[in-house]
Amino acid sequence: MDRIFSGIQPTGTPHLGNYLGAIQNWVNLQEECSSVLYSIMDMHSFTMPKEPAVLRQNILDTTAAILACGIDPNKCLLFRQSLVPEHAELAWILGCLTNVPRLLRLPQWKMKRASQNSEGTVGLLTYPVLQAADILLYKSTRVPVGEDQVLHLELAQDIAQHFNKKYGEFFPVPKAILSTTKRIKSLRDPSAKMSKSDPQKLATVTIADSPDEIVLKFRKAVTDFTSEVTYEPAARPGVSNLVSIHAAVTGLSIKDVLHQATGLDTAHYKMVVAEAVIQKFAPIRNEIKKLQEDKSHLIKVLEDGAEKAKELAAPIYQEIRRLVGFQ
């Protein structure tokens, strides 16, 4: 059957890029498919360990945010990854079928190891195998991914095919659902993608930022010395990033956005984009605040979702155990 799986790391309140590149698409997909699973990937976030209290709060804040954005537990399974132990168990089996040079070639391993200024951990190297297990554990057929995760999905596809060749046809080979939204860039460095880990506070807009914070961040957004608003990602990445954001939050095409911006200089256009973002996130921000006041509800949503996820995973994993000889 058609089944969609995706996940988000609990880094706290998602930023503008998370919303436009992933969460907004999730909301649409839960209406289109009868079997959809979304996971709070707390095990993946442990590749860069945080204080336990911080991790617990981040899990709740991320859950509140995606519920406020429109994810409905009645239309999908929303659960916390670590509450379903079969994810880690399947990752071990799949890891034993995956060669190390393949993992060493993945660009995320090189980038994240460099950002941590270390030799890197086993978890950091092998988390793409855990991603494959996340997907394959439910025999998922489609996976929403951004540009930076395409290679990891290709690894999952190869692992599925390798398993099928060795043990017989079992896993469907999952296909990518690519986001149509342009990747949202940092407001301070348009050559880099927007990120919660960016040390520059003004670089990243979160969906819970106040109107004043949003205005300040867009006012300080890096553009160039040409005042006209145009869309030229290679030549004018800063202004083009603003145009992409404006189009994405309003649902307009790039062409329509540029038409609206005719006669505006970039300084005034920044405020137009800021206002569009404020309008988009105002109801979401209010709903996040309400949900954060009821921690027990957030915990119950994740636990209920995990129970349902286990019901799906258990028979599939038992068959995997039989196929590989564990039982």
Q: Which residues are part of the catalytic machinery?
A: 112, 193, 196
Question: Do residues 145 and 176 make contact, with C-beta atoms less than 8 angstroms apart?
Answer: yes
Q: What is the torsion angle, in degrees rounded to the nearest 10, for the CA atoms of residue 255, residue 258, residue 263 and residue 265? A: -160
In three state form, how does the secondary structure of 220-269 look? CCCCCCCCECCCCCCCCHHHHHHHHHHHHHHCCCHHHHHHHCCCCEHHHH
Residue 275 amino acid letter: E
Q: How many CB atoms lie within 10 A of CB 252?
A: 15
Tokens 């206002």, residue?
A: 275
Three-class secondary structure of residue 175 per DSSP: strand
| C-alpha separations of 115 from 24, 87, 190, 199, 290 in Å | 29, 27, 19, 12, 35
Residues in the chain: 327
Query: Smallest Cα–Cα separation from 112: which of 195, 190, 184, 40?
Result: 195
Handedness of CA 323, 131, 292, 290 (dihedral sign): negative
Long-range contact pairs involving 110-114 (C-beta distance under 8 Å, separation at least 24) = 112/47, 112/48
Question: Residue 221 phi/psi, 5° resolution?
Answer: -60, 135
